Chain A
Amino acid sequence: MHRRESETWGSLTEDDVRQGTAHYYAYCEQVDEQIGRILDALDAGGQAEDTFVAFTSDHGDMMGAHRMWIKSWMPYEEIYRMPLVIRMPGSAAGACDHLVQTHDIPHTFLDLLGLPALSLRLDKVRPGENEGEGFRSLFVSAAAGKTISTLESRPFNPISVGGYRIHQKEQGRSPRLRLIDGGGREVFNAFVALRARAAKEEPGYEDFFTIPESGYRIDVSMGPREASPSGVRVTVTGPEEEIFRGSVSLGEPVSVGAYTLGLDEVRNWASFRVVRDKGQLPLFLGFLLGITGIGLRVFSTCRWVTVLIEPDKAGALVTVTGWAEREEALLGEEIAMLIVELKGDDPLPLAGKAWQGRGHRAPRGGRPVKAEGIDL
C-alpha cells in the first residue's frame, strides 16, 4: 500500500507541490472565513452565549509527507491528528492532551446539554416503492452497533423499541445540484432537501434555495416518488427576471444565465422523531383525573324534590316542591313536566302554576303518602 501510494504521487513536480500547498492554504483561509461568518451570525443573532461551537474534521491531509497527498489509506499522524476546537460559553481557553475521537463528540455534547447518552441508532432506512408507503425497513441498532431490531415504519404508526418510540415525520426527495460559473468555478454543489407539497396540491416535492453572490433564486420540484427520478423541474429567477424554466436531467447540465446547472444524483430523505416519554402514564392519569373532576362538577348537582299527596274531597291535592343548588329554573321546568305527566294532559300547551316554592329548601322528612287508590 505504501509503495503504491508513493508511486501514485511520485510523479508530482516541485511546481505541482507548490501549487497543491498554495491550494491547501487557500482552502484553510476559505474555511476560516466561512466559520467566521457562522460565528458572526451567532453574535448578531444573540445566540453566541447559548451555543456550543465545535470545529473538527474526519481526517487530516498528507500534504506531501511520506510522498503522499490527500487522506490516503496509510495510518500516519498527518491523517489521524485533526483539529478539534470547541467554544463553550463561559469556559476559559485551554488545551487538552487526552486522546479524543470523533465519536466522542455527540456524547460530549449530550453530556454538556444534560441529556441522556445515545443508546440507539437508526440505520439503513429504505423507502417503500410507492408514494405514501413509508419506509420498508428501519434497522435500529444499539450504540455498540449490533442490530437489535428490524422494523417497518409507516407514517402515524410509531414503532417502539428499547424504551423509545420512533415516529416517522417527514420524507422527501433530495437531488444533488451543481452550479458552475463561466470560469469553471463551482459555486454550489449540494443535496437540496425537497419537501412533500401540502396534501391538497398536486402530489410531489419542492423547495428553493438562493445563491447569494449572484442573487439567483432556484426553485426545484419533482413529481411523486413512483415517477422516474431522471430529472427535476427547475426555475431560476435572477434579481430582476426569470432566467430559466425547464427540466434538468441526470448528467445533462443546462446553461442558466452565466452558469451551468447540473443534476448529479437523486436520493430520498426522511426525518424521524424519537421520543422517550417516561411521563406518559402520569399524564394519562392526570387527564383522567381532570376529566372525572369536570364530569362530576358538571353532571352532579344537588337537588331536592318532595312530592306531597294529600287526599281531599275531590280526590287528591298534589304539591311538588323542589330546591336546586344551581339552575333552579330548569328544575322548575322538569317539575312542571312531572305534574303534566301526573295529570295526564297533553304537555302543549301547559297550564302553569304547578311549580311551587321555587328557590326554597324543601321540607325534609315530609310524610310519605301512598298514591295507590287515590284518584288523580
Chain B
Amino acid sequence: VTLTEMAFFWPALAGYGVATFLLLLSLASRKENLLRGGRNFLRAAFILHTAALALRWYQTGHMPGANIYELSSAGAWCTILAYQILLARYRHMSFIGPPLLLISLAMLLQGVSRSGSMGPLSEEYQSLWFYLHAVAAFLAYACYAIAAAAGILILGDSRLRPRMANLPGPELLLDMNSRFVAHGFFYHAVMLTSGSVWADSAWGRYWGWDPVETWSLVAWLLFAFHLHSRRFLGWNGKRLAWLTLLALSSVFLAFWGVSHLPA
C-alpha cells in the first residue's frame, strides 16, 4: 500500500469514525446540527475513500478486489454508497447509519490489517468474469450490511425507542430488512453463477467445494430461508433479525474467517 493512497485512506477512516460518533450523538440528543455534521463528515470521508480506491485502481491497473484489503475497502465503499442513496430516498435513514458504519469500519480495519500488497492481477483473475463476480459480490454484501443494520435496530428496538423519537417503526425496519436481503440475494446469485462460470473457464470445473465456495453457498441458502420464512412460516421481527445476522456471519466466514480457521 503506497503512502499517497494511505494519505487518503486513513483520513477517510477517521472521517467515517467521526461521522458514526456524530450520528450516534444526534440520534440520542435529537439535535439537527449534529445530524448535519455527521452527514457532512460522511460525505467528505466518502470522497476521500473514493480517491483512495481510484488511486489504487490507477496504480494497480485493475479494479480493486485482488486481495482482502482491496475487497474490504471496495465492499465498504459500496455499502456506504448504498447508504447515501438510502438517505436521499427515505426519511429516518440516519438510524441505519451507526450500525451500518460500524460494520463498514470493521470491514475496513480488518482489511487494512492484512497484507495489501499491490501488483498486477494474477493469471486466474485476468478474466471478465472476475469483474462481474466481484462487482456482484460488493453489491450483495452492501445490501446484506444494510439488512443487518436494520436487523440490529429491530433487536434493539425496545431499548432504543424510548430514547429516539424518530426511530422508524418496526414494520418499516422489517421491510428494509426483507427488501435488502432480497436484493442481496439476487446479487449473491449473480456472484455464485458468474464465479462458477469463471471457475469452469479457469480450472475446468464449475464447483470445487472449497471453504469459500461452500460458506458462500451456505450464506445464500440461509438468506433464501430468510426470504421464505417471512412469507411462508410467518416469522417476524426478532427471529428474522437474528437470521440475518447469522447469515451475514456466514458471509464473513466465507470471506474473512476461512483463512483463520484450521483446514
Contact = CB atoms under 8 A, between A and B. Distances in A.
Interface of A: 154-158, 165, 167, 169, 273, 275, 277, 280, 283-284, 287, 290-291, 294-295, 297-299, 326-330, 332-334, 336-337, 340, 347-350
B189 A329 contact: no
Contact of A157 (B91, B123, B166): B123
**What does DSSP make chain A's interface, helix, strand, loop or mixed?**
helix
Contacts of B178: 326-327
A350 B166 CA distance: 10
Nearest to A273: B204
A280 B206 CA distance: 10
Given A154-B123, A156-B203, A348-B91, A290 B172 contact: no
Interface in B160-184: 166, 168-169, 171-172, 174-176, 178-179, 182-183
B255 interface: no
Given A333-B172, A350-B91, A167 B123 contact: no
A333 B182 CA distance: 18
B7 interface: no
B260 interface: no
A294 B90 contact: no
A336 B91 CA distance: 8
Contacts, number: 85
Q: Which 3 A-B pairs have the closest CB atoms?
A: A167-B204, A329-B172, A156-B124
Contacts of A347: 91
29 contacts: A154-B123, A155-B124, A156-B203, A169-B203, A273-B203, A273-B205, A275-B204, A277-B200, A287-B197, A290-B189, A291-B190, A294-B185, A294-B186, A299-B183, A326-B231, A327-B175, A327-B178, A329-B172, A330-B90, A330-B172, A330-B175, A330-B176, A333-B168, A337-B91, A348-B32, A348-B35, A348-B91, A349-B32, A350-B91
B247 to A, nearest CB: 16
A338 to B, nearest CB: 11
Nearest to A330: B175
Given A291-B190, A298-B186, A327-B178, A156 B202 contact: yes
A251 to B, nearest CB: 37
A165 B204 contact: yes
Contacts of A155: 123-124
A89 to B, nearest CB: 29
B201 A158 contact: yes
A337 B174 contact: no
A332 B124 contact: no
A340 B92 CA distance: 13
- Interface size band for B: 35 or more
Contacts of B189: 290-291, 294
Contacts of A294: 185-186, 189
B193 interface: yes
A298 B185 contact: yes
Nearest to B127: A156
Contact of A333 (B91, B127, B185, B193): B91
A287 to B, nearest CB: 4
Nearest to B224: A294
Contacts of A334: 89-90
Contacts of B205: 273, 275
A131 to B, nearest CB: 13
B204 A337 contact: no
A337 B186 contact: no
A333 B93 CA distance: 11
Contacts of B176: 330
A167 B189 CA distance: 26
A231 B95 CA distance: 65
Nearest to B165: A349
Interface string B200-222: 11111110000000000000000
B90 A167 contact: no
Q: In the complex, which of the residues A273, A291, A299 has the most CB atoms of chain B within 10 Å of its own CB atom?
A: A291
A140 to B, nearest CB: 15
Contacts of B90: 330, 333-334, 337
A354 to B, nearest CB: 11
A291 B193 contact: yes
Nearest to A349: B166
B32 A156 contact: no
B89 A158 contact: no
Given A154-B123, A155-B124, A329-B169, A337 B89 contact: yes
A156 B90 CA distance: 45
Given A156-B124, A297-B182, 5 more contacts: A299-B183, A327-B175, A328-B175, A329-B175, A347-B91
